[in-house]
Amino acid sequence: MTTILIIEDELELLQILQKYLEQANYQVVIASKGDLGLSMWEEKQPDLVILDLNLPGMDGLDIAREIRRKSDTPIIMVTARVEETDRLIGLELGADDYITKPFSPREVVARVRAVMRRVKIPKEVSNVIKSGALEIDLDGYEVSIDDEVIDLTPTEFKIIETLASQPGRVFNRLQLLEASQGNAYEGYERTIDAHIKNLRAKIESDPKNPYYIETVFGIGYRFVKEKRD
Ligand code: CA
C-alpha cells in the first residue's frame, strides 16, 4: 500500500486531504508542524510527501531540502500564492509538483496519482539495465561486466544509473551532480568529470576510447544507445 505523508498546519485542510486520499486507497500519515513532519518522514518512510510551504516548527523549504539530501521521495509542494510557486520552481528544489491554495481535494488526489505513476513506471519496467557486457542491477546497487561485479562508489553508481536509465539522452554536468549528490551547486560541475574518468577506468575496456559513456562536447555525457534490429 502506498503511504502518503501530509505536512500541513491548517487542520481542516489536513483532515479533508486525509479523507480524500484514504478514500482513494492511500495510507495517510499526518503532521501539523514542520519539525514533526520531518521526523515522521524518517520514521514512516512514506512513498510521497505533500508539503505545505509555510509551517510552524520548520519551514517547508528546509524540509524539502532535508528530504532531498537523503532520498528521492516524491514531494508535492503546497503554496499559498502563485508567486511562491514561481519562486520555488526557480530554486530547483526537486519537488515533483506544486499546488497553489485554494485547491480542490480531488485535484490533489489526481496530482498524487500522476506523480506516483511517473515515479513507479521506470522502476517496475526494468530493474536491471543491460548493455553489451555491462549489467546494472538497480535494486541490488550492483554493476557488473561479464558477470564480474565492479566496485563503484555510491556517486559513481548514481551517475551511471542516471545515464543508463535513459540511453542516448545527454545529461549536463549540473544534472549529473544533482542526480548523484542530491544537490547542484554551480561551480562544482567539473567534479563530475573526475567521477566519469574513474567510472570509465572501471567499466571501459579502453577508457581512452569509451564505449558506454560518451562525451558530448560542450554539454555533458550520455550512455550509449544500442541499435536494435
Ligand atoms: Ca501553512
The domain spanning residue 168 has which CATH number? 1.10.10.10
When comparing pLDDT for 162 and 87, which is higher? 162
Interval between CA 27 and ligand 1 midpoint (Å): 22
49 and 152 share a domain? Answer: no
How many residues are listed for the chain in this entry? 229
The answer to whether residue 140 is domain-embedded is yes
- Given a contact cutoff of 8 angstroms between Cβ atoms, the answer to whether 86 and 41 are in contact is no
- Supply the DSSP symbol for 218: T
Handedness of CA 203, 205, 206, 211 (dihedral sign): negative
Single residue among 86, 120, 154 that ends a domain in this structure: 120
64 and 156 share a domain? Answer: no
Interval between CA 1 and ligand 1 midpoint (Å): 28
When comparing pLDDT for 148 and 228, which is higher? 148
Q: Any idea what the Cα angle at residue 55 is, between residues 54 and 61, rounded to 5°?
A: 60
Helix, strand, coil shares, percent, the chain, to 5? 45, 20, 35
Q: Give the three-state DSSP class for 67.
A: helix
190 and 113 share a domain? Answer: no
pLDDT single digits (tens) 109-125? 999 999 998 887 554 55
- Supply the DSSP symbol for 114: H
Interval between CA 182 and ligand 1 midpoint (Å): 26
* CA–CA distance, 87 with 209 (Å, rounded to integer): 43
The answer to whether residue 168 is domain-embedded is yes
The answer to whether residue 228 is domain-embedded is no
Q: What is the pTM of this model?
A: 0.55
pLDDT higher than threshold 50 for residue 158? yes
Single residue among 59, 89, 120 that ends a domain in this structure: 120
User: Considering its fold, how many domains does the chain have in total?
Assistant: 2
Span 197-202, average pLDDT: 96
153 and 175 share a domain? Answer: yes
Interval between CA 60 and ligand 1 midpoint (Å): 9
Interval between CA 33 and ligand 1 midpoint (Å): 9
pLDDT higher than threshold 60 for residue 51? yes
93 and 12 share a domain? Answer: yes
Interval between CA 185 and ligand 1 midpoint (Å): 29
Task: Give the pLDDT of residue 226.
Answer: 74
User: All 3 cell numbers of residue 210?
Assistant: 569509451
169 and 138 share a domain? Answer: yes
Interval between CA 115 and ligand 1 midpoint (Å): 22
Range of the domain at 175: 128-223
Interval between CA 38 and ligand 1 midpoint (Å): 15
The answer to whether residue 12 is domain-embedded is yes
The answer to whether residue 229 is domain-embedded is no
Single residue among 120, 143, 169 that ends a domain in this structure: 120
Question: Could you give the count of Cα atoms lying within 13 Å of 44 in the half-sphere of its Cβ?
Answer: 22
